[in-house]
Amino acid sequence: MDYLADERKKAEFDVDEMKIVWAGSRHAFEVSDRISKLVANDPGFRKDTRTMLARKELFKNTLRKAAYAWKRIHDLHLSEEEASRLRFYVDEPAYTDLHWGMFVPAIKGQGTDEQQKKWLPLAYKMQIIGCYAQTELGHGSNVQGLETTATFDPQTDEFVIHSPTLTSSKWWPGGLGKVSTHGVVYARLIINGEEHGIHGFIVQLRSLEDHLPLPGVTVGDIGMKFGNGAYNTMDNGVLRFDHVRIPRNQMLMRVSQVTRDGKYKQSDVPRQLVYGTMVYVRQTIVADASCALSRAVTIATRYSAVRRQFGSQNGGPETQVIDYKTQQNRLFPLLASAYAFKFVGEWLTWLYNDVTQRLQASDFSTLPEAHACTAGLKSLTTTATADGIEECRKLCGGHGYLCSSGLPELFAVYVPACTYEGDNTVLLLQVARFLMKTVSQLGSGKKPLGTISYMGKIEHLMQSRCTVQKAEDWLKPSQVLEAFEARAVKMAVSCAKNLSKFTNPEEGFAELSADLVEAAVAHCQLIVVSKFIDKLQQDIPGKGVKQQLEALCGIYYLYLLHKHQGDFLATSYLTPKQAALANDQLRALYTKVRPNAVALVDSFNYTDHFLGSILGCYDGNVYPKLYDAAWKDPLNDSVVPEGYHEYVRPLLKQQLHTAKL
Ligand SMILES: CCCCC/C=C\C/C=C\C/C=C\C=C\C(=O)SCCNC(=O)CCNC(=O)[C@H](O)C(C)(C)COP(=O)(O)OP(=O)(O)OC[C@H]1O[C@@H](n2cnc3c(N)ncnc32)[C@H](O)[C@@H]1OP(=O)(O)O
Ligand SMILES: Cc1cc2nc3c(=O)[nH]c(=O)nc-3n(C[C@H](O)[C@H](O)[C@H](O)COP(=O)(O)OP(=O)(O)OC[C@H]3O[C@@H](n4cnc5c(N)ncnc54)[C@H](O)[C@@H]3O)c2cc1C
């Protein structure tokens, strides 16, 4: 029986068409749909007991699943696209993520043609398994501060990789702890006593015969991480080198080269390309944020439609909690954010592909913007998604705290995204540097392009005032864009003015860093809003689909406007009355979205297997499933628990002299 059938009947749009918008294309939808069902129906990919397993058992099971996934990919002759969807729907972090997601891209991006020809076929066949070994015990954010050394030995034509201190131990790389045979290791290049900065090296870590660490290599797992199951399926590792020798041709030499006679040569590509793998992965993380958030929102929305509390009239049913405006005000902006992040993720993938093509043609002009966009949007979307998952847990009341809701594990597995691939505050400071540079160049005649083109309208934006007179005026895209542009430009200019008061710019930057981060957030929010609005300019087929997306877009920007109204008011673009009208319009949009909420989350097309949540199951049959699941908990295997006779019974039977207390 479908307990959510009445909700589904209320939908005012074509859900099947929305599924295609969400997937990105009909083809992408068909692949995702087929592969998600394939995984869901295969008992080899079960994950329902994951949060109850001890670490060793959990990890072994992950190894089994990764091998099984590889076998299925081969047996079914899956394409690269299908294989990547299969790994996604298996939904279990594993060493393969780093192999495919970082090791291979690092060689592709930083290796010469010759190096790619040698290493990529081995990696593609998984005859070697790689990790990305950059972070150390002492330094993660400050890449220039890494201590591992790679010293060129001209006698033998080799690099000597060494960990000179405890803090130089590699610490965190996923897949390193127990599985990887190789790593792209980042180290400080030294030639003839002279330092040449951080470079990547392909280093073999374990024997391909017996998996033992090679001489001079000390390697292991760094231990349990936050949450049950969650990211503990990954073997994040520690690694030390004691003068390990590798051939010279294992330095990744696309950006710079070391010749046989020990000469250091820089190509005509910017040295920042050494950071290229991080740009690539940040872009994938943005594309992924909408998946994690939409998953949590699906659970919270379906459950909010099933759950009833208070408000019974004449013995009738109580109110569905989704009908409380407070619930809508917490839930619907997250639903809208999931869609917003989907579209900005699609755009960022386009930007990344564009910059990659330009780099191949030696056009480096858009690299700073690509760095700022990937860094800023990675920070914005992961912070909002991690906070959003936790909010969804609270939206599900007490039952959200049960592992069977799926939300605790989802939060635990997702929250490190705020830290890995660049701490979110550190990344926003990179965006702020980019903005300050842009502002400082405004008088130079250099026209700001792409996502900072609005800075070209600085004179207009500094003076313009909002023209909204009634709530519906907030539905005009041009009005909304101007509000977000004016806020962003004014916050950036205010930071630049305050910075100019310092004689030492770095000192000023450090002193004003909290304001700079806020200016960076305003800029990134403008990007997300403008890409959502751009999406709505496209032809979107399907009955009512565009109207629903327009409502969600409105909820996204009006919620931001309400939340940050202090910024908008302080920059005197808005009056308090106009801010209040924005809030009136926001409430009206909640009412519009309410009957469509369940259908809007159905449009994500997630299987019950992928959701892994009793509260979010498609049929809404929550209570019997929760009740049955409780009895399946291992603690209920026996009526009297282990330990009763040892620890509880003696308490009950004790003859205390203080019995009257
Ligand atoms: C299926 C696929 C799955 C794949 C995986 C998917 C998801 C992830 C899942 C799980 C996680 C798994 C892995 C996680 C891996 C990691 O975490 S790897 C380690 C990541 N580490 C970091 O991100 C470190 C963060 N720090 C930095 O990036 C830099 O050190 C920092 C930018 C903060 C500062 O660098 P520094 O050289 O000191 O920079 P400056 O501030 O002096 O800048 C110099 C100029 O360079 C520009 N720049 C900086 N970074 C980049 C870049 N990436 N690209 C282009 N340009 C860059 C910067 O703007 C400066 O320019 P100007 O001189 O101002 O013009
Ligand atoms: C689950 C997980 C997986 C990971 N996988 C990998 C991997 O595969 N390979 C790899 O190489 N690394 C990996 N990492 C490491 C990760 O990239 C780093 O932890 C991350 O870059 C943050 O660096 P940090 O730990 O040095 O934080 P720190 O920089 O020490 O941050 C600590 C605090 O200091 C603040 N801070 C630091 N610098 C500044 C500044 N300049 N201004 C203001 N505030 C500042 C930060 O905001 C933060 O609040 C992983 C980490 C995690 C958690």
Q: What is the pLDDT of residues 77-86, one digit of tens each?
A: 999 999 999 9
The answer to whether position 203 is within a domain reads yes
CA of 141 to the centre of ligand 2 (A): 5
CB-facing half-sphere around the CA of 608: CA atoms within 13 A: 13
Please name the residue that has the structure tokens 């990789």.
161
262 SS3 class: coil
Q: Are 358 and 370 in contact (CB under 8 A)?
A: no
Residue 73 has pLDDT above 80, yes or no: yes
Q: Averaged over 445-454, what is the pLDDT?
A: 93
H/E stretch holding 275 reads none
pLDDT in tens, 42-71: 999 999 999 999 999 999 999 999 999 999
Residue 143 alpha carbon, nearest atom of ligand 1: 30
**pLDDT of the residue at 532:** 98
Annotated binding site for FAD: 135, 174
Structural domain includes residue 74: no
pLDDT of residue 269: 85
CA distance 485 to 530: 10
421 is catalytic: yes
Cα distances (angstroms) measured from residue 194 to each of 150, 241, 315, 424, 610: 11, 21, 83, 33, 52
Q: How confident is the model at residue 658 (pLDDT cuts 50, 70, 90)?
A: low
Asked whether 190 and 152 are in contact (CB, 8 A), the reply is yes
The ligand minimizing its distance to the Cα of 174 is: 2
Residue 212 lies in a domain: yes
Helix (H/G/I), strand (E/B), else coil: 469: coil
Distances, alpha carbon 352 to alpha carbons 272, 307, 442, 448, in Å: 15, 43, 25, 19
Gap between the Cα atoms of 367 and 608, Å rounded:
41
Binding pocket residue ranges, ligand 1, CB within 6 Å = 97-98, 100-102, 132, 134-135, 140-144, 174, 272, 275, 278-279, 281, 284-285, 367-368, 371, 420-422, 426, 430, 433
- Give the integer Cα–Cα distance in Å for 147 and 436: 30
Mean pLDDT of 493-504: 97
Ligand number with the minimum distance to the CA of 177: 2
Atom from ligand 1 closest to the CA of residue 372? 59
pLDDT value at residue 442: 92
Evaluate whether 299 touches 615 at the Cβ level (below 8 Å).
Answer: yes
Whether residue 475 has pLDDT greater than 70: yes
Structural tokens at position 500: 């100019």
Q: Please, which pLDDT band fits residue 660 given cuts at 50, 70 and 90?
A: low
Q: Is the pLDDT reported for residue 657 higher than 70? A: no
Asked if residue 448 is part of any domain, the answer here is: yes
| Domain-ending residue, one of 574, 602, 630 | 602
**463-499 burial by CB neighbour count: b if 16+ within 10 A, else e?**
eeebebeebebbbebeebbbbbbbbbbbbbbbbbeeb
Residue 193 inside a domain? The answer is: yes
Total structural domains within the chain: 2
| Ligand closest to the CA atom of residue 142 | 1
CATH code, domain carrying 132: 2.40.110.10
Domain boundary, last residue among 548, 582, 602? 602
C-alpha 204/C-alpha 160 separation (Å) is: 13
What's the CATH number where 589 sits? 1.20.140.10
**In angstroms, what is the span from residue 175 Cα to ligand 2's centroid?**
17
pLDDT reported for residue 339: 98
List the domain range (segments joined by +) for residue 591. 443-602
Which pLDDT value is given to residue 276? 93
Q: In this predicted structure, what is the pLDDT of residue 311?
A: 95
252 neighbors 276 (Cβ within 8 angstroms) = no
- Would you state the pLDDT for residue 346? 98
> Which protein residue has the closest C-alpha to ligand 1 atom 54?
371
| Closest residue by CA, ligand 1 atom 29 | 143
The one catalytic residue in 158, 390, 421, 482 is 421
> For residue range 309-345, what is the model confidence (pLDDT) as tens digits?
999 999 999 999 999 999 999 999 999 999 999 999 9
The predicted-structure confidence for 22-41, as pLDDT tens digits, reads as follows 999 999 999 999 999 999 99
pLDDT digits over 593-626, tens only?
A: 999 999 999 999 999 999 999 999 999 999 999 9
